[in-house]
């Protein structure tokens, strides 16, 4: 049951991750047909996460009340609907609405999936399972960067590629209905308790530097390679996806490092934050050759991926009476990182260039690193698990 459940919940993460970067992969096509500016392109990513934040704040306890499985199914259905709407959108306003609907779907499913994995593991530590699930998001986004330009070329435009994506999400919804169920656990706490939890906020900041920077940077890495090195769109998408593919590998590795006792939760977080700082320097340095920029993308990808499982287990341990709410607040931090980061990077690219945009990414990583000086890790919150 655990293996089947992890496989399906990880597949759903791939689907949601795909929706985060589908529009980023075809930016030149969107801009040409609809006349979108760099800032508007950034706002498309921000729209997903604006609705994500609003829905997460009011539904984080839902999986513990009705069970995680139906909540995840509802999220997949909403994402399929939003994707189909994007594919037929003729104006910027319609595209924004479509991204808002996709965000609703992702919000419903994210915390529900974390609680689903906790149910699969029972009393065991779910670090590796959470890391495997978390790897699905950057994997989906990376696949979008690689596949969407190719599909658009084969099918004759970006609209059919979104139609195919919507059909695949609908198929995932049908499969998910047959997934094994786990029981919800009624908790006495709520999101209000999470909002009053200082450690929860520090964990949320850490996720802003992880997931938030992964998606914000992933949304712009293809355009960066396209403009800075004059590469073809398809090749830029393939090379840009390296950042997210590395995050795919390092998310479960970060969980495994804690499970095996190799590193503590905070040590993994700090390693990731330092990697982000090193990577953005390599990306931003003037006149850097393409291999140096690609190595910088690899280092950033490792940095944003490593802390994922430690972040969500530390969040749950920070508020045992409402673990879903604490994990929801951590998720909000990540989405705020995207909602602010993607358009901020767009503005900085448009106004000052890519060096300033990468500098912004480094600043968020530095703030997260400083936050670990005040944070209590899961081992400090749950001494019996050291």
d(Cα 326, Cα 332) in Å, to the nearest integer? 10
pLDDT on residue 348: 93
pLDDT on residue 342: 79
Residue 54, CA atoms < 13 Å, CB-side half-sphere:
11
d(Cα 315, Cα 323) in Å, to the nearest integer? 7
For 36, 260, 329, 344, the CA distances from 14, given in Å and listed in that order, are 27, 26, 22, 26
Give the residue from 371, 14, 21 showing the smallest Cα distance to 204: 371
d(Cα 42, Cα 47) in Å, to the nearest integer? 9
Q: Which residues contact 162 (CB under 8 A, 6 or more apart)?
A: 22, 83, 84, 86, 87
Other beta carbons within 10 Å of 31:
15
Q: Which residues contact 229 (CB under 8 A, 6 or more apart)?
A: 290, 293
d(Cα 103, Cα 88) in Å, to the nearest integer? 18
H helices of the chain, where?
A: 2-21, 27-34, 38-59, 62-66, 68-88, 92-121, 127-155, 158-176, 191-195, 198-207, 213-229, 233-259, 265-284, 290-305, 308-318, 323-351, 354-371, 378-381
d(Cα 68, Cα 66) in Å, to the nearest integer? 7
pLDDT on residue 386: 47
d(Cα 75, Cα 233) in Å, to the nearest integer? 31
Q: Give the three-class secondary structure for 384.
A: helix
Other beta carbons within 10 Å of 159:
17
Give pLDDT tens digits for 21-60: 888 878 888 888 888 887 888 788 778 878 988 898 888 7
Q: What is the pTM of this model?
A: 0.79
Is 76 within 8 Å of 169 (Cβ atoms)? Answer: yes
Is 362 within 8 Å of 276 (Cβ atoms)? Answer: yes
Q: How far is CA 58 from the centre of its chain?
A: 20
Is 149 within 8 Å of 234 (Cβ atoms)? Answer: yes
Burial 227-238 (b: 16+ CB within 10 A, else e): ebeebebeebbb
Other beta carbons within 10 Å of 166:
21
Is 16 within 8 Å of 52 (Cβ atoms)? Answer: no
- Please give the structure tokens belonging to residue 346: 């767009």
- Please give the structure tokens belonging to residue 189: 């706490």
Domains, the chain, in order of start with CATH, read: 2-385 (1.20.1250.20)
- The radius of gyration of the chain from alpha carbons, rounded to an integer in Å, stands at 19
- Please give the structure tokens belonging to residue 287: 């006149």
Mean pLDDT by 10 residues, the chain (386 residues): 84 92 84 84 81 86 82 96 94 94 93 86 78 85 85 91 95 90 68 91 94 80 88 83 86 89 94 95 92 95 92 90 86 83 87 93 95 93 62
């Amino acid at each position: 049951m655990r293996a089947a459940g992890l496989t399906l919940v990880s597949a759903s993460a791939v689907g949601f991750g795909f929706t985060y970067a589908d529009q980023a992969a075809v930016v030149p096509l969107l801009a040409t047909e609809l006349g979108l500016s760099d800032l508007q392109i950034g706002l498309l990513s921000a729209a997903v996460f604006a609705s994500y934040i609003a829905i997460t704040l009011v539904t984080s306890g839902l999986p513990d009340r009705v069970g995680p499985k139906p909540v995840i199914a509802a999220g997949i259905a909403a994402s399929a609907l939003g994707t189909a709407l994007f594919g037929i959108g003729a104006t910027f306003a319609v595209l924004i609405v479509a991204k808002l609907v996709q965000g609703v779907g992702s919000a419903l499913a994210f915390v529900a999936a974390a609680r689903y994995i906790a149910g699969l593991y029972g009393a065991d530590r779910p670090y590796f399972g959470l890391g495997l699930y978390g790897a699905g998001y950057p994997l989906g986004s990376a696949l979008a960067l690689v596949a969407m330009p190719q599909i658009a070329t084969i099918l004759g435009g970006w609209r059919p590629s979104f139609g195919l994506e919507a059909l695949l999400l609908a198929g995932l919804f049908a499969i998910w209905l047959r997934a094994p169920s786990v029981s919800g656990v009624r908790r006495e706490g709520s999101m209000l308790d999470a909002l009053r939890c200082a450690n929860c906020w520090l964990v949320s900041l850490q996720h802003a530097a992880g997931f938030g920077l992964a998606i914000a940077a992933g949304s712009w890495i293809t355009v960066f390679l396209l403009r800075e090195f004059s590469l073809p769109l398809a090749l830029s998408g393939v090379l840009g996806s390296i950042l997210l593919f590395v995050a795919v590998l390092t998310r479960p590795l970060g969980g495994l490092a804690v499970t095996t006792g190799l590193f503590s939760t905070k040590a993994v977080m700090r390693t990731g934050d330092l990697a982000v700082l090193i990577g953005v320097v390599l990306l931003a340095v003037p006149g850097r050759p393409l291999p140096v920029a690609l190595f910088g993308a690899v280092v950033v990808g490792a940095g944003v991926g490593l802390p994922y499982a430690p972040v969500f287990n530390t969040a749950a341990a920070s508020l045992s009476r409402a673990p879903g709410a604490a994990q929801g607040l951590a998720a909000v931090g990540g989405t705020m990182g995207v909602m602010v980061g993607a358009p901020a990077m767009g503005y900085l690219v448009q106004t000052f260039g890519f060096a300033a945009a990468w500098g912004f990414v480094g600043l968020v990583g530095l703030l997260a690193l400083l936050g670990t000086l005040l944070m209590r890790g899961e081992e400090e919150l749950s001494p019996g698990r050291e």
